[in-house]
Structure 1
Amino acid sequence: MSTPNTQRHAAEHEPIARVLPLLTVPHLDREFDYLVSADQSDDAQPGVRVRVRFHGRLVDAFVLERRSETDHEGKLGWLEKVVSDVPVLTPEVCRLADAVAARYAGTRADVLRLAIPPRHAKVERENPTPTAPLIVDAPDPAAWARYAGGAQFLTALGEGRAARAVWQALPGEHWTERFAEAAAATLHGGRSVLAVVPDQRDVDALLASALTRCSAESVVALSAGLGPSARYRRWLAVLRGSARLVIGTRSAVFAPVHDLGLVLMWDDGDDSLSEPRSPYPHAREVAMLRAHQIRCAAVIGGYARTAEAQALVQSGWAHNLVATRQTVRSAAPRVVPLEDGGYAEERDPAARTARLPSVALRAARTALAADRPVLVQVPRRGYVPSLACAKCRTVARCRHCTGPLSLTGRSSVGALCRWCGRTDLSVRCAKCGSDAIRAVVVGAKRTAEELGRAFPGATVITSSGESVVSTVGAGPALVVATPGAEPSAPDGYGAALLLDSWALLGRQDLRAAEDTLRRWLAASAQVRCHGDGGVVVVVAEAAIPTVQALVRWDPVGHAEAELAARSEVGWPPSVHMAALDGAADAVAGLLDEARLPEAAGVLGPVDLPPGVRRPAGVAPEAEVIRMLVRVPRDQGLPLAAALRRATGVLSARRDHEPVRVQIDPLHIG
């Protein structure tokens, strides 16, 4: 309970607390000084949660430091309450939050909301688990020796050196085992490890591999799926130093790991690693920034490679960790490209039913005959997720919200809007008036139905966003999966069929080719090697560079070409780019207020890219535009600082609606 101000006595030693209130407005992203009473002094230490009175209301805050003097000329208020005496904001995480806010033109309060989970009082009162001695054996370097410099890299981790690499995993590689070995080498050297992965399936897989080398008490898994108490309990174990290996999804990149020696990241091209909340940081950038700040080792691994990871290699910040071409060829399956169309003469009835070339069907039949599962990757879930007019090919839209119409099953009554959920019982083309419709793309459910008819008696398994299957056995089965939902096959797939490639490659997106290759490689990496009969059939034109990169299994070459192409036209990561989304007058006001670097170029206005939500706080009837500001690579921080300052000024004036500022967004247009 708080005591009246007249009865309070200031602390004898360092009576001033400098705190950071967790306020939502950008112009108040600064520290404020408060008086600490004598009875609060022992608990009000740097890093603890407190509550302060700000403009007449109580707000949450963190104590940043204790001071003997203040530079505030007026009368100071008192700390209202020390919420907890646990210092949850460590100096390292505080410095990282400052850097992330500066990098992404955001506020520290928004970053700290991402970094520190909500308090759970009951968990804090529990007796902490005693820290057990960490005993981890040095790993066998034989598997890493398949990569040029891999064994030496493992040695460097054990010696505590700041070795940094972009690792190109071989097809068929058990990446969780390699990550667990890298973690074991670091732990054996006496330092801690942080591993960030895209989703819960990856967390579970890496945790299983890690537990074969480390004790359960020293490993913690953090993810959004945990309940508030379980998540906070595990997070406190990390804070108190009892957990030395931390595995988690994107928010775990801020975990307060003691004596961090290695940061691991898997599949940095996955969209789920990009934070959808302000200030929209990408976990890869935060992880690399953290590794740079504390000078620890870092590894970015994947079957594919992003242009951003390749830029780290070309800049010299990280080294290539790849296998020789001979090793890659011996581990990779045979990839057969087939153009989608022009096969009417060679298709048999079953192939026509399943909309597949006969070569693809033969590959599937061969694998099934050898008692091996076949993976069929389709880019969309559902039955028929998109419809169009059969005459003029105009995409069918909902009459109420203009959302895309879809069919949910073979016996669907009417078309269902994927946005508002309304059913249209009589679809008519808004352009020509025809009531004839056709499928724009076929979903996983419809594909499974077609394959069931083409292969009578075969087991058909569907895995997609609604129901993800984790693993499949070694027997014959047709596994229809959407990208990212492919079940693991412990003995490998006999064949993989990659369908509807145009739906991935034809997207109007800067990263369409890179993301397509990433999805193809992730599926193909689970297929047996060429020497063991593994075949991948991709229904796409062989001349497309992305298809050629898959045929050659050359993600590094594709990333080099992608980076060169973006550099030529001035797109990230060769430059830094800010996307400003909001009403036209608000965006114009922000640009007028911002003192942009001299080298800055302004592009736009353009419409919001498809699928990008409207900024919060903008009136529903207001037209939302996007302006792009790009600067050379070395001007990223000045650009973010200019936009951050201008956002604060406009926030204080309150004469415009808010503008969403995103630095280097994933989807530019």
Structure 2
Amino acid sequence: MSSENGRSDRPPAQDPPGGEQLALIRETVRRAKPPRARPRTWRGAELAERDPVARVLVDKGLLHLDRLFDYAVPAAMDAEARPGARVRVRFGAGERGGRREGGGLVNGFIVERRADSDFPGVLAPIAQVLSPEPVLGPGLLRLCQAVADRYAGALADVVQLAVPPRMARAEKTPAAGAPAAPPPPPRPPEASSWARYPAGPGYLRALAEGESPRAVWTALPGPHWPDELARALAAALASGRGALAVLPDGRAAARVDAALTALVGGGRHVLLTADAGAEARYRRWLAVNRGLVRCVVGTRAAMFAPVHDLGLVAIWDDGDPSHRDPREPMPHAREVLLLRAARDRCGFLLGAHSGTVEAAQLLETGWARPLAADRDAVRASAPLVRTVGDGDEARDPAARAARLPTLAWSTVREALRRGPVLVQVPRRGYVPRLACDRCREPARCAHCSGPLEATGGDAPPRCGWCGRDTPGWACAECGGTRLRGRVFGARRTAEELGRAFPSVPVRTSGRDHVLDAVPDRPALVVSTPGAEPVAEGPGYAAALLLDGWALLSRPDLRAGEEALRRWLDAAALVRPHTEGGTVVVMAEPTLRPVQALVRWDPAGYARRELAERAELGFPPVSRMAAVTGPPEAVAELLAAAELPPDAEVLGPVPLPVPDAGRPRRPGGPPPGERWDRALVRVPPGSGAALAAALRTARAARLARRGSEPVRVRVDPEDIG
């Protein structure tokens, strides 16, 4: 221990004559000595003459290591080690003799070059520059940091989502059709079908003049929305700025891509979807990053596309679950685009046939303006929606209980004379759930207690968890051996309709095989939600929306909103009622989502849902985070977190314990193990403080080896 004057507190050793004065002189010289000069070499390797220190974001994704690390830049790598470049560095090293040694090679990105470092020892050098291409520019880095802060995640995890994997050949070969220089802005597009919306032409005009309008667009039913979205993108391009549109799937993105190509020609935009392949997609991404292309149409990952000088960000069908990335920290494309619109001060367009409570909140707060048609235009464009009501029960007493009542059969029979008929079934497979025919008890596997399902007409029942066939099944409750279906899937529905209409072709569209389009001729098209193909020509002659109870009975706060979204997306493919288009929905007619479908009023439904959530303090009126993990770990994290003063902790409550034989769900508790979940709620304005507090507490836990992991989710989808 040293005293304040720098001399030792220990008893001094015997000094030679004059030793005390000599020690004082040495101490004075030591303090006056200038700091040690920066070493020019590391183990004989010459360092860069200018800015020899590189700050590197290490691609580890560990929250407690979520910071920048300094490395020396060898002179041989000076030209290639640019900010934004990919590098390989040694990480996990200890300090021996003032040097960082050991550790393995990991990937990283150079964030900046500096003249000096705060690290007191000798810096380890960059091991390799993988590519001099600056893929992590300052703007993209700031966006990734904002997303990480919003979702209490690690910056490295967000960068993994934002920057696609490197393909060396793509960096040397330009994208097919990509220009050598940015093309001149196109002419402003005509309003065309945007004239059906009172504020539509004005919105396009504002974009073309360089303004940044923000709107929530309730699209009319019919085939026009891809062209309308393409015109909004073209208007932003006409102002000399960039544009970005995020679609829920590759089929929707391809429709907008085709419409935009027909409108402005090729070479002005790129399509970023997984269907293009990793190399082609990376090549197109590089064209955007280099500023050669200023418009992007793509799926979820395109939300981070580094478009230069953004003038418009757009998202279609923000309620689709595919817009939320399943990887850490699980950002939602809508929220990322909202961050970009606020940071870049660009236009914003949220469009859908339906409406989410988040969209309703944007309108409620005045952040965005409504972009909708009047009621006369809605009535003229929408099909006739019918339910199984009182009049049908008089003719068919079993109408409410029947899966296909008389109304459905008569509608299909009449519509098949004019064109194809769409049949939406909520479940895929044949009969995904079976029950005992005598006591109605759900049929379970004798090995793992998983649910039994039927895979075909003559095939024995099979377990949905372990996959074992159960030919000799017997009910554990009553001993019965006969099975009946509880839930019917798309394949069983197609089989039944094929027998009822033997002269009509039956086509199916689902997860295993999704159809893009069907011809305009009589056919039955059985589809699961989200996989409905587009009917060529005027659209489907009719649509049946079966088993509405399966969508509405989900134990989820968004069950009604999701059911209405699925129904509207399918009904929007049907011809207008003036051309005979009819939709029959099999659900309780008095329920609010069913009534919203009948009136074609998604915005009104979203407003009422938002008002009810405001009374209860549920998102999006409040900000919420879910903390999940072993009970002791959840309690410790909440106790250690410095939550905002206005934070309210709901719980913890135990989660259902998964059955021992059931596969583990991603991010869920292991089979047979109990986990707790607590919800932390804060009012508007405290969301950033809540995310920062949970992030800091979680990082501190991860820094302690042996601590049980805790999962933190900001804005969880399921709070039921």
Tell me the TM-score normalized by structure 1.
Answer: 0.94
1:403 corresponding residue in structure 2: 450
Give the Cα separation in 2 of the matches to 1:140 and 1:245. Answer: 19
Residue among 337, 352, 357 paired with 2:405: 357
Give the Cα separation in 1 of the matches to 2:387 and 2:672. Answer: 48
SS of 1:139 mapped into structure 2: coil
SS of 2:563 mapped into structure 1: helix
Following TM superposition, by how much is the alpha carbon of 1:618 offset from its aligned partner in structure 2, in angstroms? 6.9
The structure-2 alpha-carbon separation of the partners of 1:597 and 1:163, relative to structure 1 and needing over 3 Å to count, comes to same
Higher alpha-carbon deviation: 88-97 or 57-66: 57-66
RCO comparison, higher one (Cα < 8 Å, 6+): 1
Residue among 251, 256, 260 paired with 2:301: 251
The structure-2 alpha-carbon separation of the partners of 1:235 and 1:140, relative to structure 1 and needing over 3 Å to count, comes to same
2:482 corresponding residue in structure 1: 436
Residue among 60, 69, 72 paired with 1:32: 69
Residue among 102, 108, 118 paired with 2:165: 118
**What aligned pairs does 1:5-404 form with structure 2 within 5 A after superposition?**
5-54=42-91, 55=93, 56-126=103-173, 130-131=180-181, 133-338=183-388, 343=393, 346=396, 355-369=403-417, 371-404=418-451
SS of 1:665 mapped into structure 2: coil
Please say if residues 664 and 671 of structure 2, whose CA atoms lie closer than 8 Å, have aligned partners that are also in contact.
no
The structure-2 alpha-carbon separation of the partners of 1:398 and 1:186, relative to structure 1 and needing over 3 Å to count, comes to same
Please say if residues 20 and 30 of structure 1, whose CA atoms lie closer than 8 Å, have aligned partners that are also in contact.
yes
Query: Which structure's CA Rg is the greater one?
Result: 2
RMSD over aligned CA atoms reads 2.4
The structure-2 alpha-carbon separation of the partners of 1:455 and 1:343, relative to structure 1 and needing over 3 Å to count, comes to farther
Give a deviation string over 1:64-85, Cα, whole Å, max 9, x none: 1111222223332222222111
Residue among 603, 610, 615 paired with 1:556: 603
Please say if residues 193 and 244 of structure 1, whose CA atoms lie closer than 8 Å, have aligned partners that are also in contact.
yes
Give the Cα separation in 2 of the matches to 1:135 and 1:439. Answer: 59
Following TM superposition, by how much is the alpha carbon of 1:622 offset from its aligned partner in structure 2, in angstroms? 3.4
The structure-2 alpha-carbon separation of the partners of 1:530 and 1:177, relative to structure 1 and needing over 3 Å to count, comes to same
* Corresponding position: 1:452 with 2:452: no
Residue among 476, 479, 492 paired with 2:539: 492
Please say if residues 347 and 358 of structure 1, whose CA atoms lie closer than 8 Å, have aligned partners that are also in contact.
no
Give a deviation string over 1:279-336, Cα, whole Å, max 9, x none: 0111111111111111111111100011111111111111110111111111111111
Higher alpha-carbon deviation: 425-434 or 10-19: 425-434
* Corresponding position: 1:415 with 2:466: no
Following TM superposition, by how much is the alpha carbon of 1:475 offset from its aligned partner in structure 2, in angstroms? 1.2
* Corresponding position: 1:513 with 2:564: no
Please say if residues 657 and 675 of structure 2, whose CA atoms lie closer than 8 Å, have aligned partners that are also in contact.
no
1:606 corresponding residue in structure 2: 654
SS of 1:633 mapped into structure 2: coil
Following TM superposition, by how much is the alpha carbon of 1:251 offset from its aligned partner in structure 2, in angstroms? 0.9
Give the Cα separation in 1 of the matches to 2:270 and 2:199. Answer: 30
Higher alpha-carbon deviation: 180-189 or 390-399: 390-399
Following TM superposition, by how much is the alpha carbon of 1:240 offset from its aligned partner in structure 2, in angstroms? 1.3
Give the Cα separation in 2 of the matches to 1:74 and 1:598. Answer: 41
* Corresponding position: 1:623 with 2:674: yes
Give the Cα separation in 2 of the matches to 1:667 and 1:401. Answer: 27
Give the Cα separation in 1 of the matches to 2:122 and 2:338. Answer: 42
Amino acid paired to 1:660: R
Amino acid paired to 2:67: R
Please say if residues 27 and 648 of structure 1, whose CA atoms lie closer than 8 Å, have aligned partners that are also in contact.
yes
Amino acid paired to 1:655: G
Amino acid paired to 2:269: V
Please say if residues 580 and 628 of structure 1, whose CA atoms lie closer than 8 Å, have aligned partners that are also in contact.
yes
Following TM superposition, by how much is the alpha carbon of 1:38 offset from its aligned partner in structure 2, in angstroms? 2.0
Give the Cα separation in 2 of the matches to 1:230 and 1:261. Answer: 25
Tell me the TM-score normalized by structure 2.
Answer: 0.88
Give a deviation string over 1:434-471, Cα, whole Å, max 9, x none: 32322111111111111122223122221111111211
Higher alpha-carbon deviation: 568-577 or 323-332: 568-577
SS of 1:543 mapped into structure 2: coil
1:542 corresponding residue in structure 2: 589
Amino acid paired to 1:500: D
Give a deviation string over 1:392-417, Cα, whole Å, max 9, x none: 333223333433221111122x2122
The structure-2 alpha-carbon separation of the partners of 1:649 and 1:378, relative to structure 1 and needing over 3 Å to count, comes to same
Higher alpha-carbon deviation: 602-611 or 422-431: 602-611
* Corresponding position: 1:633 with 2:684: yes
The structure-2 alpha-carbon separation of the partners of 1:23 and 1:426, relative to structure 1 and needing over 3 Å to count, comes to same
Please say if residues 547 and 586 of structure 2, whose CA atoms lie closer than 8 Å, have aligned partners that are also in contact.
yes
Give the Cα separation in 1 of the matches to 2:401 and 2:134. Answer: 64
SS of 1:65 mapped into structure 2: strand
* Corresponding position: 1:570 with 2:620: no
Please say if residues 182 and 294 of structure 2, whose CA atoms lie closer than 8 Å, have aligned partners that are also in contact.
no
Following TM superposition, by how much is the alpha carbon of 1:173 offset from its aligned partner in structure 2, in angstroms? 4.3
Give the Cα separation in 2 of the matches to 1:342 and 1:441. Answer: 24
Number of residues of Structure 1 aligned to a counterpart in Structure 2? 663
Give the Cα separation in 2 of the matches to 1:228 and 1:5. Answer: 38
Give the Cα separation in 2 of the matches to 1:14 and 1:244. Answer: 32
Give the Cα separation in 2 of the matches to 1:502 and 1:222. Answer: 37
Please say if residues 291 and 297 of structure 1, whose CA atoms lie closer than 8 Å, have aligned partners that are also in contact.
yes
The percent of aligned pairs where both chains have the same amino acid is 52
Please say if residues 557 and 719 of structure 2, whose CA atoms lie closer than 8 Å, have aligned partners that are also in contact.
yes
Please say if residues 353 and 454 of structure 1, whose CA atoms lie closer than 8 Å, have aligned partners that are also in contact.
no
SS of 2:275 mapped into structure 1: coil
Give the Cα separation in 2 of the matches to 1:249 and 1:502. Answer: 30
Following TM superposition, by how much is the alpha carbon of 1:492 offset from its aligned partner in structure 2, in angstroms? 1.0
Amino acid paired to 2:546: L
